[in-house]
């Protein structure tokens, strides 16, 4: 079932460099896929596969930052896969979108290797959380695919020395590291915190196929200036503003 035009909004990302149709009710992208895209160390000519691409924000923001990428997305929900294709056309970006379960990828994808696999898996463990009323929001926030499957299946699609980059909630760091350690190397984690006096709420995990470097924990990336929000104005710090508005990069290893 497709989204009707009156069920959608058209929203600006990267200061308007990327414009995305999103459902008024359902899963809507925030800053997280933009941060994910900023953390991917891709260069022109490389192949990128995104699991759970939704309406396409992460891949399209990455494509806006790095020209000449081959972008492929896999999305379980047909209406969101269709929306990702619509958004690719709107942004004049070549983006191959495949409507499939990542646990049952079509043979064409299983026979290809990618320089980067990126993902923003559902943040909530379905066995320990309640189902959302909207199916699209529920799949985007919970779903029924174990987090370990996202990582292990993603690792299989990587070319040698390829990178897996993922953004996830901080409370799921232990299981993410456990899964990545089984199939990848050179693991690096960069926590993300709202302010200097706040505990990190998210993290970026990056790992390499056949990587041999020791585990590294980078300093937290702080999003906002000040110890608290003191006005209605946007108070992102300079680095966050550069990432969210001007396609800046978010180094994972610093």
- Orientation angle between helical segments 32-39 and 238-246, nearest 10 degrees: 90
Give pLDDT, residue 135.
Answer: 55
What single DSSP character describes residue 5?
A: G
Give pLDDT, residue 127.
Answer: 56
* Stated pTM of the model: 0.92
CA 25 to chain centre: 20
Distance, in Å, from the CA atom of 175 to the CA atom of 139, rounded to the nearest integer, reads 20
Give pLDDT, residue 185.
Answer: 98
Distance, in Å, from the CA atom of 89 to the CA atom of 73, rounded to the nearest integer, reads 14
Give pLDDT, residue 126.
Answer: 44
Give pLDDT, residue 136.
Answer: 46
Give pLDDT, residue 229.
Answer: 67
Give pLDDT, residue 128.
Answer: 54
Long-range contacts of residues 30-35, Cβ cutoff 8 Å, at least 24 apart: 31/244, 32/120, 32/167, 32/202, 33/57, 33/58, 33/61, 33/120, 33/167, 34/58, 34/61, 34/243, 34/244, 35/167, 35/192, 35/202, 35/204, 35/243, 35/250
What single DSSP character describes residue 130?
A: P
Strands (E), 29-182: 47-51, 70-75, 95-99, 114-119, 158-169
Give pLDDT, residue 246.
Answer: 97
CA 128 to chain centre: 22
Distance, in Å, from the CA atom of 254 to the CA atom of 251, rounded to the nearest integer, reads 6
Residuewise pLDDT in 10s, the chain (254 residues): 799 999 999 999 999 999 999 999 999 999 999 999 999 999 999 999 999 999 999 999 999 999 999 999 999 999 999 999 999 999 999 999 999 999 999 999 999 999 999 999 999 874 554 544 545 444 445 478 999 999 999 999 999 999 999 999 999 999 999 999 999 999 999 999 999 999 999 999 999 999 999 999 999 999 999 877 666 667 899 999 999 999 999 999 98
Domains of the chain: 1-30+74-102 (no CATH), 162-168+181-254 (3.40.50.150)
Is residue 171 a contact partner of residue 108, using CB atoms and an 8 Å limit?
no
């Amino acid at each position: 079932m497709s989204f009707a035009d009156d069920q959608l909004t058209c929203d600006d990302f990267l200061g308007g460099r990327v414009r995305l149709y999103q459902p008024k009710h359902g899963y809507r992208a925030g800053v997280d896929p933009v941060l994910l895209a900023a953390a991917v160390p891709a260069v022109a000519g490389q192949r990128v596969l995104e699991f759970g691409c939704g309406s396409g924000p992460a891949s399209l923001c990455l494509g806006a930052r790095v020209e000449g990428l081959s972008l492929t997305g896999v999305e379980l929900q047909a209406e969101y896969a269709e929306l990702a294709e619509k958004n690719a056309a709107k942004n004049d970006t070549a983006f191959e979108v495949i409507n499939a379960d990542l646990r049952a990828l079509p043979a064409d994808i299983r026979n290809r290797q990618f320089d980067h696999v990126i993902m923003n898996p559902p943040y909530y463990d379905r066995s320990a959380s309640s189902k959302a009323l909207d199916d699209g929001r529920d799949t985007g926030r919970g779903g029924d695919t174990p987090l370990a499957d996202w990582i292990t299946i993603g690792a299989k699609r990587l070319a040698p020395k390829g990178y897996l980059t993922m953004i996830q909630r901080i409370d799921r760091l232990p299981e993410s590291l456990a899964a990545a350690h089984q199939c990848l190397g050179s693991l690096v984690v960069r926590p993300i915190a709202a302010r200097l006096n706040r505990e990190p709420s998210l993290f970026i995990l990056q790992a390499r196929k056949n990587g041999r470097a020791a585990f590294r924990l980078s300093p937290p990336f702080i999003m906002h200036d000040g110890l608290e929000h003191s006005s209605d104005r946007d108070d992102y710090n300079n680095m966050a503003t550069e990432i969210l508005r001007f396609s800046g990069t978010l180094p994972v290893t610093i």
